[in-house]
Amino acid sequence: MSLPVIAEIVTGSPAESAGLIPGDEIVAIDGEIPSDVIRWHFLVDEADPTFTIQRGGLEFELQVMKDAGESLGAQVDASIFDRVRTCDNHCEFCFIYQLPKGMRRSLYLKDDDYRLSFLYGNFTTLTRFTEADLERVVSEGLSPLYVSIHATDPDVRSRILRNPRGGYSLRWLKALLDFGIEVHGQVVVCPGVNDGDVLDDTLLGVLDQFPELSSLAVVPLGVSSYNTESSMRPHTKDEARRVLEVVEAWQQRFLETVGHRLAYAADEYYLLANEQFPAAETYGEFAMHEDGIGMARSFESEFSGMATSQVGAQSGFFQWVDGAPAEGYREVRTAVGANRGGEISSEASDRTDELVSVAIKPRPNAPIAILTGEYGAKVLRPLVDSLERNDIRIREVTNNFFGGNIKVSGLMVGEDVQQVLETEPYGHRYLLPDVCLNNGRFLDGLRPSDLPKHVEVVATNGAALRAALESRQPIHQTDEETAR
């Protein structure tokens, strides 16, 4: 077990006043060794906590004088201090198995940890969940959680997970719901495996066994060029339409029996089937926005100014891997140059002394190119066309790095963006969605500063994009800002 390390101290905070400094290793708090950032928050939320610290080879105690509930003013460098609970399933569709070689090691860690489910919205299968875990979730109110269901038939689920425990581990889902824990489910649909009648049976099983689920995301299988499972393939257009038919039929049944639609098909299905997205109001509060449910409609509402509030940016793929913010780990992320209202930050626009790139900076009123994935381009084109401006264009980035049917903006990598920008003119503004960056890096390890043209990182929501398009002043970020 590693010790939590202080990464940052807020000026004027109780932590600074007590003498905590970055680099301090926390051995214990009031005699307890915190196993994760969740427990850390419970402990430091108390009044006058006493820290056992290692610094420079010495161990000593230090008491922080603060009120209960008052912020400590210190951040730690990780979200899990003990060992991350890894996944012992061997799902054919697992995207970790479909990653190319040579990426940073942390990306290949396959987790099945309920704590990361709570912290980041990662999906857990519950096959490694225990009675002690249930007790902690309930006693500490770790809600919401996110559970991969895939099928409710025990035999089918065991085959999909390639784990005999898969058939009965959903008993933990029932227990969580019985204790009032908010749970969002997911079904990854694999053609010929759990689609068609199996999907229909799964939705029946949800109604029969888990009607208290807050929502259920029905998402398509992602297949990269590195897939080694011959049975795993992308959906055809007709298969996508069939999934929509099944989900929409069950939405009506759920509406009549539990009072809300409960199950939702991912936006990708509507793009695959060439069908119109449902109306924004059918998605409720967009609870599964980060899973690609209702993202197009929420983005449209934000872009047009019709949204009364913002759903917010996605947290990004593999967001948990390279460290978690210790304070506000469920907060909506913001991109540099855009605040939570989507307006351009004057502070960001004024800081031109330390640019992300040494490339020629764009001039005011320069033509604008929006960098996005293939699916993002389909969503953005009608929105941009509605502006009736000839100085804005969509620059689609084909995902050659992963290949296959990987077309979402969140999996764009620096290498592919580089190839696109090499053929683009200097002096134009290039807008990049922050969802493809984790701690300032693309999944392939490159940073915006490695790109051949200067890019402006914009929060992945409609209001932020609209604000960037309407601004005549390019946003400039430092490497430090881009990593936030």
- Render pLDDT for 188-224 as a digit per residue (tens, 0 to 9): 999 999 999 999 999 999 999 999 999 999 999 999 9
- pLDDT tens digits, 141-155: 999 999 999 999 999
CATH number of the domain bearing residue 11: 2.30.42.10
Residue 156 forms part of a structural domain = yes
Residue 169 forms part of a structural domain = yes
Number of Cβ within a 10 Å radius of residue 220: 24
Contact 264, 184 (CB under 8 A): no
| CA–CA separation, 68 and 49 (whole Å) | 9
Residue 341 forms part of a structural domain = no
From 76, 104, 128, the end of a domain falls on 76
End-to-end CA distance of the chain: 27
Of the two residues 261 and 328, the one the predictor is more confident about is 261
| CA–CA separation, 96 and 175 (whole Å) | 29
| CA–CA separation, 262 and 308 (whole Å) | 23
Tell me the torsion sign for CA atoms 183, 189, 192, 193: negative
Residue 83 forms part of a structural domain = no
Same domain, 58 and 187: no
Same domain, 39 and 188: no
Tokens 């939702």 -> residue: 264
pLDDT at 210: 98
Q: Is the predicted pLDDT of residue 315 greater than 70, yes or no? A: no
Same domain, 353 and 440: yes
Contact 464, 342 (CB under 8 A): yes
Residue 321 forms part of a structural domain = no
Residue 416 forms part of a structural domain = yes
| CA–CA separation, 400 and 71 (whole Å) | 45
CATH number of the domain bearing residue 143: 3.20.20
Q: Which of 441, 329, 269 is nearest to 80 (CA)?
A: 329
Same domain, 109 and 172: yes
From 26, 43, 76, the end of a domain falls on 76
| CA–CA separation, 413 and 444 (whole Å) | 6
Secondary structure element (H or E) that encloses residue 480, with its range = helix 479-482
Residue 204 forms part of a structural domain = yes
Range(s) of the domain holding residue 19: 6-76
Spell out the residues 6+ positions from residue 41 whose beta carbon is closer than 8 angstroms to its own: none
Same domain, 64 and 186: no
Kindly report which listed range (68-82, 329-343, 352-366) carries the lowest average pLDDT score: 329-343
| CA–CA separation, 335 and 458 (whole Å) | 5
Same domain, 100 and 40: no
Kindly report which listed range (83-97, 156-170, 211-225) carries the lowest average pLDDT score: 83-97
Alpha-carbon 389 to chain mean position: 32
Q: Is the predicted pLDDT of residue 74 greater than 70, yes or no? A: yes
Average pLDDT, stretch 464-473? 88
- Strand order across the 50-55 sheet: 25-29, 50-55, 58-63
Q: Which of 400, 443, 413 is nearest to 103 (CA)?
A: 443
Same domain, 251 and 148: yes
Same domain, 145 and 174: yes
Same domain, 182 and 256: yes
| CA–CA separation, 419 and 424 (whole Å) | 9
CATH number of the domain bearing residue 477: 3.40.50
Same domain, 181 and 70: no
| CA–CA separation, 144 and 214 (whole Å) | 9
Contact 439, 317 (CB under 8 A): no
Burial track 229-247 (b if 16+ CB lie within 10 A, e otherwise): eeebbbbeeebbbbbbebb
Average pLDDT, stretch 274-291? 86
Q: Is the predicted pLDDT of residue 339 greater than 60, yes or no? A: no
pLDDT at 352: 29
Alpha-carbon 121 to chain mean position: 7
pTM: 0.85
Same domain, 385 and 447: yes
Joined together, the tokens standing for residue 417 give: 């963006």
| CA–CA separation, 184 and 117 (whole Å) | 10
Q: Which of 327, 337, 303, 298 is nearest to 314 (CA)?
A: 298
Residue 440 forms part of a structural domain = yes
| CA–CA separation, 457 and 439 (whole Å) | 12
pLDDT at 292: 84
Please report, for residues 24, 71, 142, 269, 383, the alpha-carbon distance to residue 296 in angstroms, rounded to integers and kept in the order given: 44, 37, 29, 12, 10
DSSP3 helix / strand / coil % (the chain, rounded to 5):
35, 15, 50
Count up the domains in the chain and report the number.
3
Instruction: Name the pairing type of β-strands 25-29 and 6-9.
Output: unpaired
Spell out the residues 6+ positions from residue 390 whose beta carbon is closer than 8 angstroms to its own: none
| CA–CA separation, 474 and 454 (whole Å) | 10
| Residues of the chain above pLDDT 70, percent | 86
Same domain, 15 and 124: no
